[in-house]
Amino acid sequence: MPPKLIRSGRIALGLFCSTIALSVAQAQTVQSPAAEKKPTRTPHKTSATAKKENDGYSNGNVEQIMATARRTRSEQSINHTQLQRILPGINPVKALEILPGVIFENADPWGNNEQNSSLYIHGFNQNQLGFTLDGVPLGDQSYGNYNGLSPQRAALSENIASTSVATGAGALGTASTSNLGGSLQFTTQDPMHKAGGQISQTFGSWSTFRTFARVDTGDFGNGNSAYFSWARQDARAWDFAGHQGGNQVNAKFVHQGSKDKVTAFFDWSDKVEPNEDGIVEPAGGSMYVRPFLYPNLKEAVNYYNGSAAYKAAGNNYRNYYSDAQREDFLAYVKWTHDFSSNLHWDNQIYYHHDMGEGVVAGPISAAGLPTLFSAYFPSDSSSQLSGVFGGSGMATRTTEYWDNRGGIMSTLHYKVGHHNIELGGWYERNDNTQARRWYAFDINNPTSPYDRQQNPLIHQYTNLFYTNTITTHLQDSWQITKNFMLSAGFKSELVYTDGTLPVAALPGSLSPSTARTIPGGNVNTAKPFLPAFGALWNITPHEQWFANIQENMRSFQDTGYGNASPWGMTSQAAFEDFKKHGKVETAWTYETGLRTNRHVNLGPLTNISGQLEYYHVHYSNRLLSVASSPYNSSVSYIIGSANILTNVGSVSTDGMDFSFTAQFGRHFSFYNALSYNKSVYNDNYVTGTTVVPTAGKNVAGVPNWTEKFVASTNWGDFYGQFIGDVIGRRYTTFTNDLSAKAYTLFSINAGYTIRNIPHVQCLKIQGNITNLTGTRGWSTLNTTYASGQYTAFPIAPRMFFLTVGASF
């Protein structure tokens, strides 16, 4: 195992034994009608109340797997217990895949690999959704994120109290400028009021070794409490000789006074994630994996030195290694003050620093690279270039990221008469840099996926961005009668970005050779009025109707060459033209539905709850990075293709989600979610002089049908679950000429809690099997191609995990 990885790891800390004490008597719940009388914000709790609720984790109370919020929009959540039962240490986004309308794909059983991660909700991908942690914005989740970080890097999975998704449109106060569609909110646990600790160890397939520990101080006077947690994970990738993992630390402090609550949170994450390349289809034929060659250096040198296998592989040749290295520091302080029982004020300040590096080590002879290198070493022949790059026949390419962002949020909640008024604002300053560099790969001093590169031979280009984001929102929820409520409000979004080019690429080094990195300049995005309207009607004490209409905007991405961004244009003239005439992406979302929650007496069936939702979305000014020259996947993949940011029209989406939970007494429940989605491109688009016939075609990557279920049983200290996930056929190209077959995945988990052990509060044992039937197929799809081919990543095979943990 590489020495740097031995030092790296992750953390698994959380309310471990206490959550296992809970029986899962109901998989989905609808809150009482009275809940909607309160403001949408979490009401202030006294220290005594908070202690009682927190201590409820270990008092044997019933806890739900999934909860359905009673709001004017569709919003469902998964709690800490269910999150860890699916798989200890799981990416909280992956846990949401059991909810209706959510499609998450990843070639890693935890869902942690960011390179091959994809998320769709009601036709929108992850870059078009909003993500927050305790209210802190996490950006648009682009790979190599320029304005945030992934949820699993922002907080330990074991410290997540709940994760929720608004599948239609997020709340007006969501700190995001990318949420054309819904929003995902992750909430961390507060410290326990009783001093103690938890520790757990997960072992499993492919040398999985995950350690997790947490220490709670308990209350130490004047309403103060805190915890410190650490985790380390090391797991060999199932499809190549790489170890994925890292270290992560969380700390949280809470001061709970009679009228004030102060919360401080800190996260440090240091991860190394070697990646596998996707299979270019249909050229891949019978290939299912495309692993890198590391650590077999001799084999790699022979492979790249004109071997028949290398030549025959075409676009599916094997790199020596590739990886993503990320180090993040995230902190926030939040202060909530109650002026009275009707007036509350929330304030939050945060800071995030990221240092990232994406690395690919591969042959210098790959398509496009001889042209690139000749621009920087014009007098050297191909054989001389091998010596320049270290005599191995390889070079190392990096995309290096630096991100410093900080912000402040403030919201007033005022209840006057039958009105709940919310007024808030958010400001963020983001300075981010992206650089493309090339390094020698010395045959006598080879690097590994776990090393940071040093002393570049070529500093190809650097983009630097300064972005100021200002949003405000105002909303009134009017309780017209006891059972009927209307809401109306609006959001303003102002985004000002200055993109500069400290280092420009040399002429002839890009694809095509006429392309240039551009100086760029200022681009301002402003939508001062984005309205939202909602209604909520408690038809009976058990049934509820909801409706919501909302407009959202997605600001331009602050990224440079090779990206779907104004600063990725092929010329300064094209940039200026887009700045003058380009339109920002917007979407109108309409959603309505019914909810129910009833106790029944139908033999073994004792409770039924569920939700039926219909939605329609009109997405305007869809921006696509269209190739400026005839498409060549091998060239664009290696050195980046100069593309034109083009408005390719609109998308229309119609769909329905139906989910229910049937409770059979105290010991059994069955949750089921069936979803239908029809997302269609409304227009054709042009690349060069060629018309691409996409009008009327399905949005690529989004299946029409999905089906999920969770069958649960609980018998005191024992529980078990059988989980199924059915993903329908997905078109893999914009023109729908190719598709990926439907597939079904099953998983099981079971656990038992042992009590009355001296000096130990309880001991928990949990077993998990993922992909129970060993299903093979494609998980994540790269659908950026117009037609003829696509890139796909495989589904992880069946794996076994055992977790042993104790609470003190």
DSSP string, 1-47: --HHHHH---B--SSHHHHHTS----SEEE--GGGGGS-SSPPP--H
List residues bridging with 349 in a β-sheet.
333, 408
The CATH number for 194's domain is: 2.40.170.20
Are 622 and 585 within 8 A, CB to CB? yes
pLDDT at 691: 87
Q: Is the Cβ–Cβ distance between 665 and 677 less than 8 Å? A: no
What pLDDT score does 299 carry? 96
| % of the chain residues with pLDDT over 90 | 79
Asked whether residue 10 carries a pLDDT value surpassing 80, the answer given is no
Mean residue pLDDT of the chain comes to 89
The identity of residue 210, as a single letter, is R
Taking Cα atoms as reference points, which of 496, 640, 644 lies closest to residue 582?
644
**What's the domain count of the chain?**
1
- Specify the pLDDT at position 7: 37
- Give the model's confidence band at 3: pLDDT under 50 very low, under 70 low, under 90 confident, else very high: very low
Note the pLDDT of residue 639.
58
- Classify strands 160-166 and 75-79 as parallel, antiparallel or unpaired: antiparallel
Q: Would you say residue 414 lies in a domain? A: yes
pLDDT in tens, 179-217: 999 999 999 999 999 999 999 999 999 999 999 999 999
Q: What is the pLDDT of residue 563?
A: 86
DSSP per residue, 585-620? EEEEEEEEEEEEEEEEEETTEEEEEEEEEEEEEEEE
Return the number of other C-beta atoms located less than 10 Å from residue 538's C-beta. 20
Q: Which domain holds residue 66?
A: 3-802
- How far apart are the C-alpha atoms of 247 and 738, rounded to whole Å? 41
With CA atoms as reference, report the closest residue to 701 among 98, 118, 96: 118
Whether 808 is covered by a domain: the verdict is no
CA distances from 724 to 292, 499, 670, 709 (A): 32, 46, 11, 5
Q: If residue 630 lies in a helix (H) or strand (E), which one and from where to where?
A: none
Asked whether residue 330 is assigned to any structural domain, the reply reads yes
512 pLDDT band (50/70/90 cuts)? confident
Predicted confidence (pLDDT) at residue 52 exceeds the cutoff of 50? no
pLDDT tens-place string over residues 523-547: 999 999 999 999 999 999 999 999 9
Q: Is residue 807 part of a domain?
A: no
pLDDT in tens, 725-735: 999 999 999 99
Instruction: Look at residue 35 and tell me whether its pLDDT is greater than 70.
Output: no
pLDDT tens for each residue of 395-410: 999 999 999 999 999 9
Could you tell me if 407 and 427 are in contact, meaning their C-beta atoms sit under 8 angstroms apart? yes
Q: Distance between CA 145 and CA 465 in Å, rounded?
A: 13
pLDDT at residue 640 in the model: 56
Per-residue pLDDT of 601-644, as tens digits, reads: 999 999 999 999 999 999 999 998 886 554 444 444 555 556 67
Tokens linked to 208 = 């999985």
- Residue 564's pLDDT is what? 87
Positive/negative CA dihedral, 232, 143, 276, 327: negative
Hey, is 433 helix, strand or coil? strand
pLDDT digit string, tens, across residues 77-112? 999 999 999 999 999 999 999 999 999 999 999 999
Only one residue has tokens 């796909």, namely 792
Task: Quote the pTM value.
Answer: 0.91
Note the pLDDT of residue 44. Answer: 40
Give CA–CA dist 391/515, Å, rounded. Answer: 30
Confidence (pLDDT) at 31: 40
Percent of the chain predicted with pLDDT > 70? 89
| pLDDT of 386 strictly over 90 | no
Residue 16's pLDDT is 38
Once rounded to an integer, what is the mean pLDDT over residues 715-733? 96
d(CA 328, CA 156) in angstroms, rounded, equals 13
Residue 32 clears pLDDT 90, i.e. is over it = no
Q: Quick one: pLDDT band at residue 48, thresholds 50, 70, 90?
A: very low
Residue 550 inside a domain? The answer is yes
Residue 368 has a pLDDT of: 81
pLDDT in tens, 132-176: 999 999 999 999 889 999 999 999 999 999 999 999 989 999 999
Query: For residue 686, what pLDDT band results from cuts at 50, 70 and 90?
Result: confident
Q: How far are the Cα atoms of 114, 244, 676 from residue 117, in angstroms, in the given order? A: 5, 15, 22
- Answer yes or no: is 235 within a domain: yes
* Secondary structure (3-state) at 639: helix
**Quick one: three-class SS letters along 72-132?**
CCCEEEEEHHHHHHHCCCCCHHHHHHHCCCEEEECCCCCCCCCCCCEEEECCEEHHHCEEE
Rounded CA-CA distance 633/646 in Å is 19
pLDDT, tens digit, for every residue of 566-604?
A: 998 888 998 999 999 999 999 999 999 999 999 999 999
In a domain, residue 647? The reply is yes
Whole-number pLDDT of residue 37: 39
Q: How confident is the model at residue 41 (pLDDT cuts 50, 70, 90)?
A: very low
Look at residue 628 in the predicted model and tell me its pLDDT. 59
pLDDT over threshold 50, residue 345: yes
Q: Report how far apart, in Å, the C-alpha atoms of 93 and of each of 40, 164, 239, 244, 282 are.
A: 23, 9, 23, 19, 30
- Closest listed residue to residue 768, CA positions, set 722, 727, 726: 722
> DSSP for 248-306?
EEEEEEEEE-SSEEEEEEEEEEEEEEE--PPEEETTTTT-------TT-HHHHHHHHTT
Name the residue with higher pLDDT: 511 or 254.
254
pLDDT at 62 over 50: no
Omega before 512 cis (within 30°)?
yes
CA-to-CA separations, 118 to 125, 179, 543, in angstroms, rounded: 7, 16, 35
pLDDT over 60 (residue 470): yes
Does residue 734 lie within any of the structural domains? yes
**Distance, CA of 385 to CA of 373 (rounded, Å):** 8
Cα angle for residues 472, 475, 481 (degrees, 5° grid): 175
Helix, coil or strand: residue 726: strand
Question: Average pLDDT in the 258-276 region?
Answer: 96
